Structure 1
């Protein structure tokens, strides 16, 4: 594999397309929720996507799908992946898709904190600590000033927001575990397969246990499954891995702030969700914090030249 490149017009355009797709994820789950619960949607899409990814693993050189050194970390990753999306599914039943996607994408902040304590090479700089502080102020801001919701009997929205934030923490734990385990050396399709298969194994029975297994096979339900299986869980992730293998990850990560923005916009446009002013302000702070943490090298260079 050749040296990874900096961003060019093609990579930038593809990243914007990916952020649009990822921003639609929670919105589409919510649109189809009346016909098929979010948890069942995620379980089925994970199983179908695993079937699509499995043949690709066979084409890769040096995969160790059944080796204990990779399998046990793979099971742990599958559990964390399932926990993340169980929390996302439950959050979507209580709060808006807009709130869910914004709070889910606080994950990079928790990844930075976790790796800071575990890897000397990932120690946070003063610039990054300032970004984390800004992001946490933003998180707090999204939760305050909601007394009117409580008075109207909508305390479930706050619970849904908390579950979405916990889902972001689970996502961060998945990323940290991947970085610190043997799977860091594995091909991305192998890691993805573990997570998708585990997502089906854990979440499909969970849908029955929680009484959320009923499916009405409407066009909306089928369309949601097609979108999530083919576009979201398979094509977009394959494209993401291709970008990671050809372009610098730090440059690609700069686009991460676009996904919750698209998610918020789609929630308003497609679901007619209303967004409180404090949540908008908190979202801005969270995204600024994520950008500061992700772009610290660029910020340091700019400060150096000022």
Structure 2
């Protein structure tokens, strides 16, 4: 990998590892709809010039149905669920649960007709990863409050499903243009709820900075860097960031917010990451004579918050 590739890779590992920290800070003072509108509207405004230059808005009209499905699975549903879940969960726990995305991706790909079969190695990875998720969710199960955990797992399912729509239905739609439209649509969807739940007083500088960071850094700038990384090293190598983002989330939560780092969390981290690696390992044998090609360009955040 070139020096530029390493720099882009390091930037993405950091940028998509800290959204959970910023969400945790923001939801202490603003409601979930306000957070979603702030994040999506700011990101859309930053991406507008790039979307205009990228063009092909005619394809948005042509593929409006799969684009809507992508927006629901990648932004509209997940970003509200994350904000609501982090009212109860720590940012580090949320980041670790999201690390299960590759596991759900392997399952969904197979259920929807992937050309790659689930080998013994992959089955082992799925079971190990799911064991890690169960270990991480166990404390919430004991106190009878599984809703936040289920919300984050739904986010992981959405993040695992959305890129499949892009790969199979939207290969010709420019990524920046599509994401700009999806972000704008999400902002419009949540605007009425955001108005109804607008805070009575101006949030603190800390919360406002977190909202700005989510929109500008973790969404708009992250997209630009991510697609540059894909062009530099290819989509398969670019998605290795998936295995580093949870570690950044844990370090950020523990060091900046004083969140606990317990032995079960460390073990769950190892199980989820190890299981994800095994579950998404590529087989050398094609199924039914079909060649296994490189992975397609992912959508907005196959690993983003």
**TM-score interval, normalised by the smaller of the two chains:** 0.7 to 0.9
- Are 1:107 and 1:168, in contact at CA under 8 Å, matched by a contact in 2? yes
Q: Could you tell me which residue of structure 2 aligns to residue 279 of structure 1?
A: 265
Shift of 1:172: 1.5
Task: Give the counterpart of 1:246 among 225, 232, 237.
Answer: 232
- Are 1:65 and 1:190, in contact at CA under 8 Å, matched by a contact in 2? no
Q: Could you tell me which residue of structure 1 aligns to residue 278 of structure 2?
A: 292
- Are 1:23 and 1:259, in contact at CA under 8 Å, matched by a contact in 2? yes
Q: Counterpart of 2:18 in 1: which secondary structure?
A: helix
CA-to-aligned-CA distance 1:194-220 (integer Å, 9 cap, x gap):
3211321223334456x4655624211
**Structure-2 separation of matches of 1:170 and 1:29:** 18
TM-score by length of 2: 0.83
TM-score by length of 1: 0.83
Q: Could you tell me which residue of structure 2 aligns to residue 302 of structure 1?
A: none
Work out whether 1:11 is the aligned partner of 2:1.
no
Shift of 1:239: 0.6
Q: Could you tell me which residue of structure 1 aligns to residue 293 of structure 2?
A: none
Residues 189-204 of structure 1: pairs in structure 2 closer than 5 A: 189-204=176-191
Work out whether 1:178 is the aligned partner of 2:171.
no
CA-to-aligned-CA distance 1:243-274 (integer Å, 9 cap, x gap):
11232211122221110111011111111111
**Structure-1 separation of matches of 2:177 and 2:195:** 28
Higher helix share: 1
- Are 2:37 and 2:187, in contact at CA under 8 Å, matched by a contact in 1? yes
Change in Cα spacing, 1:205 to 1:25, as seen in structure 2 (3 Å) is same
**Structure-2 separation of matches of 1:87 and 1:65:** 31
Shift of 1:84: 0.8
Task: Give the counterpart of 1:166 among 128, 131, 154.
Answer: 154
**Structure-2 separation of matches of 1:143 and 1:240:** 30
Corresponding pairs, count: 283
Shift of 1:119: 3.7
The alignment yields a C-alpha RMSD, in angstroms, of: 2.4
- Are 1:38 and 1:92, in contact at CA under 8 Å, matched by a contact in 2? no
Deviates more, 1:260-269 or 1:170-179: 170-179
Change in Cα spacing, 1:118 to 1:295, as seen in structure 2 (3 Å) is same
Unaligned runs of 5+ in 1: 1-6, 299-306
Task: Give the counterpart of 2:204 among 218, 221, 227.
Answer: 218
Q: Could you tell me which residue of structure 1 aligns to residue 136 of structure 2?
A: 142
Q: Counterpart of 1:197 in 2: which secondary structure?
A: helix
**Structure-1 separation of matches of 2:281 and 2:6:** 16
- Are 1:94 and 1:159, in contact at CA under 8 Å, matched by a contact in 2? no
Task: Give the counterpart of 2:220 among 215, 230, 234.
Answer: 234
- Are 1:254 and 1:291, in contact at CA under 8 Å, matched by a contact in 2? no
Q: Could you tell me which residue of structure 1 aligns to residue 19 of structure 2?
A: 25
